[in-house]
A and B are shown apart, each in its own frame.
Chain A
Amino acid sequence: MAALLRALRIGQALRGLRAAQRSQCDEVKRTFQTAAVLRRVADDPKQEQVPPYSSSFHQNYQSMHPESESSRPNTSYADQHGEQAEDYETEEQLQIRMLTAALEFVPKHGWSVEAIAEGAQMLGLSPAAAGMFSNGAGDLIQHFVAQCNSNLSENLAEQHKLVQLGQTEPKKTDEFLRDAVEARLRMLIPYIEIWPQAMSILLLPHNIPESLKHLSTLVDDIWYYAGDRSTDLNWYTRRAALTGIYNTTELVMVQDSSPDFEETWKFLENRVSDVMNMANTAKQVQSTGEAVVQGIIGAAITLKNLTGINQRR
């Protein structure tokens, strides 16, 4: 009897699986037959390198179209049909292409849906395709920020590799932080005129969670490659400090008019050295505090001895 029930349950599970597979198959077939613009992408290594930031980026669109994502990645299609899969790109990849194209038009139109529409036109699509982004300007800025962060990560990873291979000297922490933040902020230079608009859009309530996520991944990456492996309260204090440095330097950069933003880099240097000093100062304060406490206890005991309270009769 129990064996029968088990068999039934297994049968149900298999049937469900087959139904899911069939629906996946239908969806994939549908995509394969009817995509007009989604490019045919041969399985080249470029596909696997879905950039690390895209996971959070995709979450925005997953709520809108969950089935398509699960049924369209290259690998599952290849597994189902067991042949060399020449797959089409997904909608998300097309959106990424559109946003990258739209960045070109940002200096002229600002961070807006018009820029995305121009980007779509450049890819040969109708400007109506800009309607795909329900969060318009916010999506464009998040994409740009994510792109910059991943570029920075790649650069830091390369440097790290060189250091590990012994081809370059490892940098000191403050120098490393300074260089990393400077490299990241330099990516803003082409858009520095309209960056205040972007910053204000990122502060809108519905954009805050995602922008905070990007910021935290940025700071985490920089500290990781700086060699931070702490597991105590230091982890939080270090990242908080770097977040503060980054944000304030960004604000300074936006209103800096000196040649090649020299003032900004000087400001950055000062802030980083402040943080370094503060770490030392904190240690000093702690040891001084301990010494003071010891001294007070010693004085109290001496006083007690003097007044004779301690003596046993």
Chain B
Amino acid sequence: MASSAGFARTLCRLGYRFSVCRQCQRQVPNLSKISRFAVSARLYSEQRSTHFGFETVPEDEKTEKVYKVFQNVAQKYDVMNDAMSLGIHRLWKDTLLQLASPTPGSLLLDVAGGTGDISFRFLDYIRYRQDREARRDTLSRQSASWQEITEAYQRGQPGMQGGVQAVVCDINKEMLKVGRQRAADRGYGTGLSWVVGNAEELPFDNDKFDFYTIAFGIRNVTHINQALQEARRVLKPGGRFLCLEFSRVSNPLLSRVYDAYSFQLIPVLGEVIAGDWKSYQYLVESIRRFPDQEEFKAMIEDAGFFKVQFHNLTGGVVAIHSGFKL
């Protein structure tokens, strides 16, 4: 004790400033005060760094690197999804839509929705609901006049709801291109709008959308809090934020199986099917770096959403977080 106190006193005389290390309760020399010149130089050159998978990269670089990843995988994105999740991702996305249960006339913003899976399901759901209502109307109507029947037929046509029902926004043009192609193949022409945009800076006005979904996209965003705030901005009052994302598996046995599968099998599949090992290595690493269910729920609450809940799917492999702008 005495020796360290003497040492501290010597350093004090040499002009060092001290801060107390919280963990070990020892005094630690505060290095930034050693040389003011070095400090300012460091301030200019040093940026905040963030994680890119298990690497650490400066924040500006992360957006670019993510862009390159998805540029490479865009063409084989859907095939890889099916291969990696054994088709279960379709069930996850179906569950997301069932949780949302949108009513006809709602407007959806699907962020990071490149290839359009969520938006297609959204349109299907609304169409199904409209059909059901039309059927209920015709059943309840005992004897309809010709006028009413023609009106019912007209109402039943898709796309007559008034144009755009879902807006797909993605930062990556390649993914949007693939999405547009799929939409054309499946006949979802009207009712969809494709917009290039960054989740941290959405090119939309305030209070526009009823639903904001982001499926397997938010872990790639550099500043998640900013994305959440933007989500809140563009939602109408009463609008719903839904996030489908990989999350923490709580069961230890399942967790070991899942880890083995992720790190051993998925990059191999990536190499074999898509010819790209590194992108899929990034994918599984980024899943591990994403905060767990409770932490993400706290982040969503911090952004100003109410009634935030999460539902675990497949034992926690995937979680749906939901919040309301009230």
A interface residues (Cβ-Cβ under 8 A, vs B): 30, 33-38, 64-65, 68, 91, 94, 113-114, 117, 120, 123-132
Contacts and interface: CB of A to CB of B under 8 A. Distances in A.
Interface in B74-125: 99-103, 105-106
B237 A91 contact: no
Interface string B280-304: 0000000000000000000001111
B219 to A, nearest CB: 24
Contacts of A94: 326
Given A36-B325, A36-B326, A91-B326, A129 B240 contact: yes
B106 A128 contact: yes
10 contacts: A37-B238, A37-B326, A94-B326, A124-B237, A124-B238, A125-B237, A126-B106, A129-B238, A131-B322, A132-B307
B63 interface: no
Given A30-B304, A113-B101, A38 B238 contact: no
A125 B101 CA distance: 16
Contacts of B307: 64-65, 91, 132
Given A30-B301, A36-B326, A128 B306 contact: no
B52 interface: no
A127 B108 CA distance: 12
Contacts of B101: 113, 131
B102 A128 contact: yes
A120 B309 CA distance: 20
Contacts of B309: 64-65
B173 interface: no
Nearest to A31: B306
Contacts of B304: 30, 33-36
B246 interface: no
Nearest to B309: A64
A128 B100 contact: yes
Nearest to B99: A131
B238 A128 contact: yes
A227 to B, nearest CB: 43
Given A37-B237, A38-B326, A91-B306, 16 more contacts: A30-B304, A36-B326, A37-B325, A64-B307, A65-B307, A65-B308, A117-B103, A124-B237, A126-B237, A127-B105, A128-B106, A128-B239, A131-B99, A131-B240, A131-B324, A132-B307
Nearest to B209: A126
A23 to B, nearest CB: 11
Nearest to A124: B237
Contacts of A126: 106, 210, 235-240
A182 to B, nearest CB: 31
Contacts of B239: 126, 128-129
B141 to A, nearest CB: 14
A5 to B, nearest CB: 21
A114 B101 CA distance: 10
